[in-house]
A = this chain, B = another copy of it.
């Protein structure tokens, strides 16, 4: 049994509040949502929540590892509850739709650069760019 939002928040040392529970609940059902979408979803459930509160919750949860933040270039940030494993993402260049892809190489960090130039590397992020099925057949397709 996976732990509910209350346990997750408690274990992370965060206070249990209605906005936080609603954000985690909603994101569990709607992975890869933007902050805007999360705000809408949470408001539908709680009535009224400030934008700032949503951003605070998302940041607090991302910081403590309850949520993972994905920021595809040119698109607003997206959040997901699937953390801990080192999976990667497919992103549609057109609509920003994002899907999970399992790690190509097994365990994290999955890839190591040849020369780190003195950087302390802690994560290898892999994004696969393309067009999703919905955007692909349109006339704007530049790959066919």
* CB proximity to B under 8 Å, residues A103-144: 104, 111-133, 136, 141, 143-144
Q: Is A119 a contact partner of B104 (Cβ separation < 8 A)? A: no
Copies in the complex: 2
- The segment from A13-21, A46-54, A69-77 that touches chain B is A69-77
- Give chain A's interface residue range (CB within 8 Å of chain B): 35 or more
- Which of the residues B77, B118, B130, B132 comes within 8 Å of A122, measured between beta carbons? B130
Q: Is A56 an interface residue (CB 8 A)?
A: no
How far is it, in angstroms, between the C-alpha of A115 and the C-alpha of B87 when the chains are bound?
A: 12
> A111: which B residues are within 8 A, CB to CB?
104, 126, 128
Q: Is A122 a contact partner of B117 (Cβ separation < 8 A)? A: no
Residue of B nearest to A129 (CB): B123
> A12: which B residues are within 8 A, CB to CB?
none
Chain A contact residues, CB within 8 Å of chain B? 69-74, 77, 88, 90, 92, 99, 101-102, 104, 111-133, 136, 141, 143-144
